[in-house]
Amino acid sequence: LTMTLEEIHGQENTMENADSCWVNALLLFADLKCAALEELLVAAKKQDYLTVGVYESAKVMNVDPDSVAFCVLATDEEYECDIALQIHFTLIQAFCFDNDINVVRVNDIERLADLVGANETGEPKDAHCILVTSPSANPWKDPALDKLSLFCEESRSVYDWVPTITLPER
């Protein structure tokens, strides 16, 4: 089997186009995950279905674990070496796995703090852990939650147990 230079060059262009399509699809999927996360947090905040903060989240998980629908763990370079925070993250992740709660990591804690708002004193909330909760008696349904749940399920199928969502810079 011999190929001419034109045929080889034609195959390279086809492969480059396929690679380009694949990259574009991945970028679009990444944008959809980010948009779904933002939509979910904003909608949950309006419904008063958010718990923000590591200790506050731990309390909810201890008192009413069935109310937790989704978990977001956030960190940035400043906190990557915080051993206490990493221990909390490990315990929260273990709790989520044991209770079939989807969990994601997010790279931009400041952006998450902006999305969930300030506390009573006007200071940004501790957005290291955010829980989306839903009353057990009347579970809350949201399309963004469904999208993120599907993303988590697909990630687990390729052994990515805590997928990361990288929020785009604004």
Residue 33: per-residue pLDDT? 86
Residue 104: per-residue pLDDT? 95
Domain assignments of the chain as residue spans, ordered by start: 15-165
Residue 2: per-residue pLDDT? 58
Count of beta carbons in the 10 Å neighbourhood of residue 52: 23
Please answer whether residues 37 and 44 qualify as being in contact, where contact means their C-beta atoms are separated by less than 8 angstroms.
Answer: no
For the chain, the three-class secondary structure string (H helix, E strand, C coil) is: CCCCHHHHHHHHHHHHHHHHHHHHHHHHHHHHHHHHHHHHHHHHHHHCCEEECHHHHHHHHHHCHHHEEEEEEECCHHHCCCHHHHHHHHHHHHHHHHCCCEEEEECCHHHHHHHHCECCCCCECCCCEEEEECCCCCCCCCHHHHHHHHHHHHHHHCCCCCCEECCCCC
The stretches in the chain having pLDDT less than 50 are 15, 18-19, 21-29
CATH number of 15-165: 3.30.1330.30
Residue with tokens 């903060």: 53
Residue 161: per-residue pLDDT? 87
Residue 146: per-residue pLDDT? 92
What's the predicted TM-score (pTM) here?
A: 0.77
